[in-house]
Amino acid sequence: MSAHAVGRGPGADGRAVIVGASVAGVRTAQALRREGWTGPVTLVGDEPHPPYDKPPLSKQLLTGAWEPGRAVLLDGPAAREAGITLRLGSPAVRLDPAGRRVSLADGQTLSYDVLVLATGAAARPSPWRPGSGLHVLRGLDDLLALRRDLELPGPVVVVGGGFIGAEVASAVRARGREVTLVDPLPVPMARLMGEEVGAHFNGLHRRHGAVTAFGTGVESITGRAGALTVRLSDGGALPAATVVVGIGSVANDAWLRDSGIPLEDGVLCDEYGRVPGHLGVYAVGDLARRRLPGPGGPQRSEHWTSAVEQAACVARTITRPSAPSAEASVPYVWSDQYDWKAQIVGAPGGARLHRLIGDPDGSPARFAALYSGDGARLTGAVLVNWPRAMLMARRLIAEEGALAHAERELTATGQVSRA
């Protein structure tokens, strides 16, 4: 089985190695089998835990509604049944694309015919380093450490008002704890959905008893678990038993630095996940910085649904290289905060808010915010507690539907559902 056969046709008996064992990696491995790959499939993960899913970390696993076992994506028996070899507990540390070899930290070397890079992203490290008691949340070990520290009495401070910070604040409130959420932006969600709708998300925190210190930076965090002090740029200081920092992510691409694989906070690849200049090498999920058709530079999607779709597509492209397959659907991300299930479709960020339909202040709230990039077509929407409207918006965005039409359809559903 030569690499060239893989490039030319369905050389489905080659050795497939997938590095990174969360949702993108696991789904790629499973999809390769479904697509008829008969050669060995090896899935490499740095963590010792059975592969697990990330979204519950800031939701059900943090409130305590789920125990970690529930988030497992692939256990030993399921892997054996699917013919997937799990190599867990040792990170990949080097890639030699010319020799088609991946080296692991434990000294093992894996040879491949097809390589899928799926090492995802890590939490952006905290610039503040108190003695203890400061947490980020990206993996299971982070969660377990945070859950342990949440046993300490006293207030919790969350730095960063994006999705992760907001979900952590919500989960910590659900545990009955005092929370202050700090972000240098006056309306942290504004970048994603504009000032007006973002302001409703600010209000959501306050309605549920979280204190917000927005428009305020962090100067320093000192002390230790149970007795921390967060000093703010406005001169204030917040005592905290525990601090959680959620200030974005960085791609886990450091291990590829000397490999010649094109990197730019992630692995540069085309819309099919193929890495240019490296036949048989693909990138999927949060690690993949894809050059998509249309304007705009290459982008990393950091959404679960996209990771799942990319995995299915890359497996098809690997098994049928002459008919590569790309993710077709509209960008979609959800976020669960307090009693809001927020769903964001398309690209409301950068587009103009056209209209807000429904009631953002009700209890429960239900609304749809419609956005347009060009004033004519629906290009993005933010929906709260209204999955049917999300489906409608998602379809209309895919069809490049007229804004006026979207507005009519959504207003009509809104009336039906309230009747």
Partner 1 sequence: MPELTADLGACQGYANCVVAAPDTYDIDDDGLVVLVRTEIPEEDRARVEEAARSCPVSALKVDGK
Where does this chain bind ligand FAD (CB under 6 A)? 19-25, 44-47, 54-55, 57-58, 91-92, 118-121, 137-139, 164, 252, 255, 285-287, 302-305, 307, 333-335
332 in contact with partner 1 (CB under 8 A): yes
Find the helix or strand (DSSP H, E) in which 388 lies. Answer: helix 387-398
- Binder of partner 1 out of 118, 187, 240, 390 (CB under 8 A): 390
What's the closest the beta carbon of residue 387 comes to partner 1, in angstroms?
Answer: 4
Instruction: Select the span of 39-47, 128-136, 195-203, 326-334 touching partner 1 (CB under 8 A).
Output: 326-334
Q: How many other CB atoms are there within 10 angstroms of residue 127's CB atom?
A: 11
- Binder of partner 1 out of 394, 397, 403, 410 (CB under 8 A): 394
Indicate which of partner 1, ligand FAD, none lies near residue 57 (CB less than 5 to 8 Å, by partner kind). Answer: ligand FAD
CA distances 192 to 30, 242, 397, Å, are 33, 28, 17
Instruction: Mark out the alpha helices in 127-189 (DSSP H runs).
Output: 140-149, 163-174
Please, are residues 334 and 343 in contact by the beta-carbon 8 Å criterion? yes
Range 251-260 burial, b when 16+ CB lie within 10 A, else e: bbbebbeebe
CA distances 402 to 112, 354, 358, 391, 408, Å, are 48, 12, 20, 16, 10
Q: Which of residues 93-132 bind partner 1 (CB under 8 A)?
A: none
Q: Site map for partner 1, 10-29, x if CB under 8 A?
A: -----------------x--
Cα gap 330→346, rounded to integer Å: 6
Largest CA distance in the chain: 66
387 in contact with partner 1 (CB under 8 A): yes
Nearer to partner 1, 138 or 394 (CB): 394
55 in contact with partner 1 (CB under 8 A): yes
Nearer to partner 1, 173 or 394 (CB): 394
Nearer to partner 1, 43 or 95 (CB): 43
Reduce the DSSP state of residue 370 to 3 states and report it.
Answer: strand
Nearer to partner 1, 164 or 308 (CB): 308
Q: Which among 419, 416, 376, 417 is positioned nearest to 396, based on CA atoms?
A: 376
Nearer to partner 1, 120 or 223 (CB): 120
Nearer to partner 1, 187 or 344 (CB): 344
312 in contact with partner 1 (CB under 8 A): yes
Nearer to ligand FAD, 216 or 252 (CB): 252
Partners of 220 in beta bridges? 231
- Our CA angle for 165, 168, 174, nearest 5°, is 145
Q: How far is C-alpha 177 from the geometric centre of its chain's CA atoms?
A: 26
374: alpha, beta or left? (left if phi > 0; alpha if psi -120 to 50) = alpha
What's the closest the beta carbon of residue 88 comes to partner 1, in angstroms?
Answer: 21
336 in contact with partner 1 (CB under 8 A): yes
Nearer to ligand FAD, 58 or 216 (CB): 58
What's the closest the beta carbon of residue 383 comes to partner 1, in angstroms?
Answer: 10
Q: Which among 116, 110, 68 is positioned nearest to 90, based on CA atoms?
A: 110
Indicate which of partner 1, ligand FAD, none lies near residue 386 (CB less than 5 to 8 Å, by partner kind). Answer: partner 1
Find the helix or strand (DSSP H, E) in which 31 lies. Answer: helix 23-34
Instruction: Select the span of 44-52, 147-155, 239-247, 379-387 touching partner 1 (CB under 8 A).
Output: 379-387
What residue ranges bind partner 1 (CB under 8 A)? 27, 34, 53, 55, 304-305, 308-309, 312, 329, 332, 334, 336, 341, 343, 385-388, 390-391, 394, 417
